[in-house]
């Protein structure tokens, strides 16, 4: 066995459900899915470990997180191998190695973020301070698109604030979830982080457990609504990062060649399987053809294939379900008369869940490919003549995770950004995130903030001390 496969073998079970590589269909391991009873046992472990973990001071917990980041670095190639084999992303580009490195960087940033006591009043007669205390046990339900780094986004701040965590990875990327937990646990005290495996019934049991004081969930709007319903009886705090259908508005003053690369990766990072990826591109008539041509020329040069092939930078979709969604939306666009600039012709008989890089031009804004989140490598490019109409279209969906404005005039771009209904609006880029900068959605894209100081506050209980 090659050395980088050691971690995959370590987290694979000798029995249970077969896990297949989405690029080749090869069986790469097995997972023994858990039950609601396993959730109860995991929460019990976390609840017993929490007082001791919370009793450590902030500096001690941060030091443990720094050691956890070192462990990620030590296993970076093994982690990248696991996520490439199970999720499908390529080793290079914005792929598996990028995700592994991001995990370590994010954990370190979380441990380095200052959170001083806030003095609210100190007028010589009275003093009021705002402190942040642990919640207790946090349930972290993580998705299949970025299964390692999103786990770290949830786990690291929860631990930093003195909570313990029960992590439930997606049933589509369970091995990856187990792998990142195993590596983190090399540096953490026993019981502080516990992973449970399973499908919806296991996640439901975690959300309903009365000992879980906070639930963090990243996934679809539909499942997010189920989390809200299941949690109602116990009223845990919630952070929900749900679906997006991010719009980008290009203004006529840009150079199409200069922005083509930024537009492409804004849409096609992780093969479009990113909540805050660009899903709709609005381009003015004056430069529409130039933008479409520049995107097509760039896309044609981007190699797609099996993730372990070092020359590839885009891989397959992760699962058949998502392949079906992308294919349905693209086929509908064809029927409606939209122009297929490239792609849109998958080989359903080929191994793996590959869907070609697809650009769809001259598509009506009302088409499902525009109005629904495709979550894959198919970008609709909508022509507009009136900027007011483009803003209205951009705001015309029920989600609002991210958006972007592309212009040579920053002041103009900022004015338009202020009118877009999204949690984050980027100027002349799309999808970039920073561990120091809060991130969250508007409308049905969820609520609560992650990252930075606000993310730490979100996994703690505010307490005012007056006197």
User: Helices 200-208 and 221-231, interaxial angle, to 10°?
Assistant: 40
> Which one from 241, 261, 290, 331 is the annotated catalytic residue?
241
Take residue 414 and report the two structure tokens written for it: 């900022």
| Cβ contact 385:413 at 8 Å | no
Pairwise CA distance, residues 257 & 210, whole Å: 55
Q: Is residue 241 annotated as a catalytic residue, yes or no?
A: yes
Read out DSSP for 372-426? S---SSEEEEEEES-HHHHHHHHT-SSEESEEEEE-S-HHHHHHHHTTS-SSEEE
Q: Is residue 103 annotated as a catalytic residue, yes or no?
A: no
Read out DSSP for 31-87? E----HHHHHHHHHHHHHHHHHHHHS-HHHHHHHHHHHHHHHHHTHHHHHHHHHHHH
Q: Pick from 370, 352, 351: which is nearest to 362 by CA? A: 370
The burial class, CB within 10 Å (0-12 / 13-18 / 19+), for 97 is buried
User: Helices 256-268 and 288-299, interaxial angle, to 10°?
Assistant: 60
CA distances from 336 to 192, 333, 374 (A): 53, 5, 17
Pairwise CA distance, residues 54 & 48, whole Å: 11
Residue burial 114-124, b: 16+ Cβ < 10 Å; e: rest = eeeeeeeeeee
> Which one from 103, 171, 275, 373 is the annotated catalytic residue?
275
Please give the DSSP secondary-structure letter assigned to residue 439: B
Active site residues: 241, 275
């Amino acid at each position: 066995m090659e050395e980088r496969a050691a971690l995959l073998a370590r987290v694979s079970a000798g029995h249970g459900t077969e896990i297949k590589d989405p690029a080749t269909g090869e069986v790469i391991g097995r997972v023994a899915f858990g039950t609601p009873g396993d959730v109860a046992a995991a929460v019990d472990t976390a609840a017993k470990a929490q007082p001791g973990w919370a009793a450590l001071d902030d500096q001690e917990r941060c030091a443990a997180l720094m050691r956890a980041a070192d462990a990620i670095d030590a296993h970076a190639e093994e982690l990248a191998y696991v996520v490439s084999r199970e999720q499908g992303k390529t080793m290079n580009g914005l792929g598996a190695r990028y995700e592994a490195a991001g995990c370590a960087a994010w954990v370190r940033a979380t441990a380095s973020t200052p959170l001083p006591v806030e003095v609210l009043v100190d007028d010589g007669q009275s003093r009021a301070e705002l402190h942040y205390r642990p919640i207790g046990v946090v349930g972290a339900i993580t998705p299949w698109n970025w299964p390692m780094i999103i786990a770290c986004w949830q786990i690291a701040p929860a631990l930093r604030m003195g909570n313990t965590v029960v992590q439930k990875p997606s049933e589509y990327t369970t091995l990856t979830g187990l792998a990142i937990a195993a590596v983190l646990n090399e540096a953490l005290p026993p019981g502080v982080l516990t992973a449970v495996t399973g499908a919806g019934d296991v996640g439901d049991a975690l959300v309903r457990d009365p000992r879980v004081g906070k639930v963090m969930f990243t996934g679809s709007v539909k499942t997010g609504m189920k989390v809200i319903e299941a949690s109602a009886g116990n009223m845990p705090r919630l952070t929900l990062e749900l679906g997006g259908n991010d719009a980008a508005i290009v203004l006529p003053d840009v150079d199409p060649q200069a922005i083509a690369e930024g537009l492409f990766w804004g849409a096609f990072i992780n093969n479009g399987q990113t909540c805050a990826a660009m899903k709709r591109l609005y381009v003015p008539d004056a430069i529409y053809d130039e933008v479409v041509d520049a995107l097509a020329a760039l896309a044609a040069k981007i190699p797609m294939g099996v993730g372990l092939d070092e020359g590839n930078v885009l891989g397959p979709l992760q699962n058949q379900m998502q392949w079906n969604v992308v294919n349905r939306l693209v086929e509908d666009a064809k029927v409606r008369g939209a122009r297929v600039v490239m792609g849109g012709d998958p080989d359903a008989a080929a191994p793996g869940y590959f869907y070609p890089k697809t650009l769809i031009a001259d598509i009506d804004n009302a088409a499902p490919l525009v109005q629904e989140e495709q979550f894959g490598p198919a970008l609709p490019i909508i022509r507009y003549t009136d900027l007011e109409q483009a803003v209205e279209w951009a705001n015309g969906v029920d989600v609002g995770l991210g958006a972007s404005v592309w212009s040579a005039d920053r002041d103009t771009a900022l004015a338009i950004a202020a009118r877009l209904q999204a949690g984050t609006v980027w100027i002349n880029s799309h999808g970039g995130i920073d561990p120091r900068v809060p991130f969250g959605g508007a409308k049905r894209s969820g609520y609560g903030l992650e990252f930075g100081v606000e993310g730490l506050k979100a996994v703690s209980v505010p307490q005012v001390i007056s006197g």
